[in-house]
Structure 1
């Protein structure tokens, strides 16, 4: 069980750290760059990213990291080890709730709404402005949560 735990913690630390880095790129320069181009071009670029990402290696990182976090949470509960188990649960919660679930609940519906819009009419421009603000805010949440999950898993590895 110890070897399984260490492997899961290493995988989750790396996975959540990589996910944090991807989200960080969007939060710090990709969305800012999109805000500087005309709405029609920004919408087209983001829609292209949203179609591409679900067929990319990102999904082979994002979903398996979720699975590792769920395994870590179960291991923490069935073999409670005080502070170690607490770190494991905190890391899993940050990733599962604030990173993965917030993606499903907030970012994906915004992406779906954006996919229905094209052109540069007033409706598209208004939606794009709202999308940039709200999507980026939730992306900041995902970035910080994924990073905190990675930190919690690394800290747990220091205790194991």
Structure 2
């Protein structure tokens, strides 16, 4: 892959990582806090709805499309294809894939599934909700930080002049 093509692909990797990190930032900084202020049955019902609605083509294109771009530029950097700052590109790739995709699948999704299985008005639902709020948000902080850190790595790789 040529340096120009790698450079062109690094930019949308940065944009996608920043966009996804920003979505997670919104949840970490105010959405979850707002849901926590609601009575448990309302907070649970709202989050159950969010977890259904988030599975849509626009969000999934941003979330998984960024993962695909990261894989492509990461493989390119790993195998010595010409491109900007392969170490930064690899760092951005690992940060996004591990911090966003792996954490989502192993941390947030199982919590979402557990929440989906409870009746919002039940005592069990309230207990699951209390644990969910802190644990899910902690994992979401990880996704926020790694998404934004990946974006920073890709931006630096894209904009930092290569050594002569």
Displacement of 1:56 after TM fit?
4.3
Gaps of 5+ in 1: none
Partner of 1:110: 111
Alignment correspondent of 1:40: 41
Q: Distance in 2 between matches of 1:129 and 1:72?
A: 40
Q: d(CA) in 2 for partners of 1:24 and 1:132?
A: 15
In 1, Cα distance between the equivalents of 2:72 and 2:91?
A: 13
Moved over 6 A (4+): none
SS across alignment from 2:58: coil
Unaligned runs of 5+ in 2: none
- Structure 1 partner of 2:148: 147
The CA distance in 2 between the partners of 1:100 and 1:119, in whole Å, is: 28
Give, in whole Å, the separation in 1 of the partners of 2:121 and 2:129. Answer: 10
Q: Using the TM superposition, give the Cα deviation of residue 3 of structure 1 relative to its aligned residue in structure 2, in angstroms.
A: 2.3
Match of 1:129 in 2: 130
**TM-score under structure 1 normalisation?**
0.95
Name the Cα RMSD after superposition. Answer: 1.6
Deviation at 1:80, TM superposition (A): 6.4
Per-residue deviation, residues 12-38 of structure 1 (Å, max 9, x unmatched): 000000001100000000000000001
Confirm or deny: 8 A CA contact 2:3 2:81 kept in the other structure. no
Shift of 1:58: 0.8
**What is the rounded CA distance, in whole Å, between the counterparts of 2:120 and 2:88 in structure 1?**
47
Task: Please give the secondary structure, in 2, of the residue aligned with 1:150.
Answer: helix
Matched residue count: 160
| Cα-to-partner distance string for 1:127-148 (whole Å, 9 max, x where unaligned) | 1010000000000000000000
Give distance in 1, aligned partners of 2:6 and 2:96: 17
TM-score by length of 2: 0.93
Secondary structure at the residue paired with 1:58?
helix
1:98 aligns to what? 99
Q: Whole-Å Cα distance in 2 between the matches of residues 80 and 65 of structure 1?
A: 20
Distance in 1 (CA, whole Å) between partners of 2:20 and 2:137 is 15
In the alignment, which residue of structure 2 is the partner of 1:55? Answer: 56
